[in-house]
Structure 1
Amino acid sequence: MSKLLQNNEILLRALEPEDLDILYEWENDTDLWKYGSSLSPFSRFALRQYLIYAQQDIYQTKQLRLMIVLREGNRRIGTVDLYDFEPFHGRAGVGILLDQKYRNQGYGFKSLELLEEYAFNFLKLHQLYAFIPEPNVASIRLFKKAEFECTAILKDWMSLQQVFVNVFVMQKFNTGKNQ
């Protein structure tokens, strides 16, 4: 396995068919829907199809989801995503999900570091970005710690429980020192 997607604590790996049950649990956690774009449950069939589709190249699918795995015990603790991959424009969106049990332990930051290294040094992207709802304070804090900067605020962009909230556009540019 490449050293590119791992450090001494975690590794980012491709999704496997064995990940179906944990993905089913995370994707159907209604507490997380408010921060994303999910509006309804995912079936096992739909996720099984997604796992097949996810094996294709990022240049074909324009997205890449990687499982975050703790090296010790080989425990799956979350996922990181590159989405809306635009190689011509040199950018991709970033998403991250950590299982509740593994939050606030530094794993999100370490996962973003590995994903950033892959995106900037291997894919040669110019920038990464994330759209984060204002009430998602933990994600805002995580992306700021990873040196993403808030470059725009989309006013009343998302509806959360019948209240419209702002969404922060967070960006990080490949300045060459990210390498």
Structure 2
Amino acid sequence: MQLLNGTNIYLRAIEPEDLDFLFQIENNEAFWEISHTQKPFSKYELKKYLENAHLDLYEVKQLRLIITSQKNKEKIGIIDLFDFNPQHKRAGIGIVIAPKYQNKGIASEALTLLINYAFKHLSLHQLYANITNTNTQSIRLFEQKKFKKTGVKTDWIFTNGVFKDEILYQLIND
């Protein structure tokens, strides 16, 4: 699908062969704050998830895509639509880039592809992201894509003995 192909990356459906990559990402404690994860995932749990990954977006209300290098087909990260609501034409968006690929413009390209897919193919009216106030890289990324700060949930996330605010960003499809 052309909407999911970029210059340096493309977004593709999850395959059973992605089990080890998912295991690495999901069990990286550095990402737990943004994914609201409380415990490690077993390969068994992830394998069960993969068995249902083919289910329709309208049924499971989530779409998880693997960010893949155009050059060498290497797995770079994961980008999600979640809380998909076709009635209200909105979805949340989340993105994780493997540490060795961060700060290379990959998240920006992946986010652009997913925004275009959501607005053009799924006819969504809006996308939103929840970002902790200390995640300056994500704040900068989403603001560069014209997401607007529309709210703050004070002391919303408790991690490592500290409360953090969570900022709501929205992008409206005009």
TM-score range, shorter chain: over 0.9
The offset of 1:146, in angstroms, is: 1.2
Q: Is the 8 A contact 1:126 1:173 kept in 2?
A: yes
Which blocks of at least 5 consecutive residues in structure 2 are unaligned?
none
The amino acid of 2:108's aligned partner reads F
Q: Which runs of 4+ in 1 moved over 3 A?
A: none
Task: Kindly report which structure 2 residues correspond to 1:41-52, keeping only aligned pairs within 5 A, or say none.
Answer: 41-52=40-51
Is 1:12 aligned with 2:11?
A: yes
Cα RMSD after superposing both structures = 0.7
Cα distance in 1, alignment partners of residues 159 and 134 from structure 2: 9
What is the aligned partner in structure 2 of residue 25 from structure 1?
24
Aligned residue for 2:96, secondary structure, equals strand
Query: When the two structures are superposed, what TM-score results if normalisation uses the length of structure 1?
Result: 0.95
Which deviations, in whole Å up to 9, do the C-alpha atoms of 1:38-83 show, x marking residues without a partner?
A: 0000010110111111111100100000000011011110010000
The percentage of counterpart residues that share the same residue type is 44
Residue of structure 2 in register with 1:174 after alignment: 173
Partners of 1:36 and 1:12 in 2: CA distance: 20
2:72 paired with 1:38: no
- Report the secondary structure of 1:34's partner residue: helix
Query: Aligned equivalents of 2:100 and 2:171: distance in 1?
Result: 28
Equivalent pair of 1:35/1:136 in contact (CA under 8 Å): no
Q: What stretches of structure 1 of length at least 5 have no aligned partner?
A: none
What residue number does 1:76 align with?
75
CA–CA distance in structure 2, aligned partners of residues 68 and 35 of structure 1: 18
| Cα pair 1:153 1:168 within 8 Å, conserved | yes
TM normalised by structure 2 equals 0.98
Partner SS for 1:35: helix
Alignment deviations for residues 143-164 of structure 1 (CA, whole Å, 9 cap, x no partner): 1111111100111111021111
Q: How does 1:81-96 map to 2 (within 5 A)?
A: 81-96=80-95
SS at match of 2:51: helix
Q: Which residue of structure 2 aligns with residue 125 of structure 1?
A: 124
Alignment of 1:157 with 2:156, yes or no, is yes
Name the counterpart of 1:58.
57
